[in-house]
Amino acid sequence: MNSRNSIKLFLPFIVLAIAAALVYYLVNSKPERKQPELKEKVWQVDVINAKRQTLSPSITLYGRVESPEQLQAAAPGAGIVDSVHVRTGDKVVQGQTLLALDRRDFDSLMVQVDSELRDIKSQIEELKIRHRSNTASLKTEQELLRLAKAEVERMRQMKNQNLGSATTLNEARSVLGRQQLSLQNRQLEVDSFPARLRMLEAQQMNTRTRLGDAERMIERSEVTAAFDAIVSAVPVSVGDRVAIGQTLLTLYPVDGLEVRAHIPATYVGDIQASIKRGETPKARLVLNNQNLIIDLKRLAGEAKATGIDAYFHTGDSSRELRPGSLLSLSLSLPPARGVIAIPFQAIYGNSRIYLLRDGRLQGIDVDTFGQFYQANGDALLLVKSEKIVDSDNIVITHLPNAVTGLKVKTLD
């Protein structure tokens, strides 16, 4: 009885021991798995060989089209607009009639001034006739004065001899005084002739000038194109009353436009040195899918802290431009030695590229010298660094996680 109780007591422990032994056996008998090995990721990139060259870099400028020779036709006088033959944007040729004022507003002035000129001419002729008469009469007046003096002397002698009266002497003296006064007046007329003639001639010259002004006003009342041009503004219309000097229309020559662009201070020294050597810096302008080459005509008279404004002559291409248009152009700089041309995607930030050395990236800082255009029109960036040697491979694939030491390999 006791043995049965002992077996019942130890039976659970025996089962647990058997189960534990079974679990231990199963765990130790399972096949072992190999731990995966961690491999470093290799990025595929494309590279180009570093090649130092002497190339002319270009910088991109943003300019505005302007017209330094813009002409404003103004009203020669107050009047009414009679006809307008052009509109804004019209192309006109030299001698073409553009606008006309009512000539009746100027004809009346012409008639008035012409009448004044005729009157002055008559006054001059009359003055000359009077002068000839006064000159002839002066001799007579002098002779009469001599006779009057002789009569006074004769009357004085007769009175002294008691042959004449004091009354007769006084009458002779009175005649002498009147004759002296008449002679003085006649002499004054003769002497004042040159001054009066000059005064009338001055009035005549002034009136002739006014007549010329009136003739020009009539001539300018019809506005014609002085050269081949494009009309930029017509602020008046038929029936408008205009004042003297008021703008009637504005036009500019078809080949007289310029592009004003700001050159950064970094490149101003090179541009000025090029001009001093007698060279003409050129810029490339893309207009209607065509490459146009324009010359730098002059630099602004005043510089700014950020650089200086430059003016480019557009020449025949002005026919396709309009004042106020905004354009981008590429200015060619003097040749730079020892630069390397790379695609723009190879640059990180503004001054960092990566080299492929021993299968890993090596970052270096470079100096940029603008861009260079290939024959097919593609643009490359010009860089330079003393840390680059000719055998180096420059990574041109742009990696978002590029960092020095990153493992890479070439696509081929």
Residue type, 137: S
Query: How far is the CA of 1 from the CAs of 4, 5, 8, 223, 248, in angstroms?
Result: 5, 7, 11, 145, 139
Looking at 3.90.550.10, 1.10.510.10, 2.40.30.170, 3.40.640.10, the CATH number of the domain 57-68+256-334 comes to 2.40.30.170
Q: What is the CATH number of domain 72-101+224-252?
A: 2.40.50.100
Max CA separation in the chain (angstroms) = 224
Task: Give the pLDDT of residue 16.
Answer: 75
Task: Give the pLDDT of residue 366.
Answer: 92
The set of residues, in sequence order, having a beta carbon less than 8 Å from that of 200 and lying 6+ positions away, is: 120, 123, 124, 127
Mean pLDDT (whole number) for 25-38? 66
**Cα(94)–Cα(229) distance, integer angstroms:** 8
Mean pLDDT (whole number) for 104-118? 84
Q: Which of 4-13, 86-95, 303-312 has the lowest mean pLDDT?
A: 4-13
Q: Which of 98-112, 158-172, 189-203 has the lowest mean pLDDT?
A: 158-172
Task: Give the pLDDT of residue 128.
Answer: 85
Mean pLDDT (whole number) for 85-92? 89
The set of residues, in sequence order, having a beta carbon less than 8 Å from that of 203 and lying 6+ positions away, is: 120
Percentage of the chain surpassing pLDDT 90? 15
**Which sequence spans correspond to the domains of the chain?**
37-55+336-412, 57-68+256-334, 72-101+224-252, 106-218
Residue 266 has pLDDT above 90, yes or no: no
Query: How does pLDDT run across 123-174, given as a tens digit for each residue?
Result: 888 888 888 877 777 777 777 777 767 766 777 766 666 666 667 666 767 7
- For domain 37-55+336-412, say whether CATH 1.10.1510.10 is its number: no
- The pTM assigned to this predicted structure is 0.57
Q: What's the CA angle centered on 217, arms 212 and 221, to 5 degrees?
A: 150
Closest CA to 360 of 393, 387, 388: 393
**Cα(123)–Cα(321) distance, integer angstroms:** 60
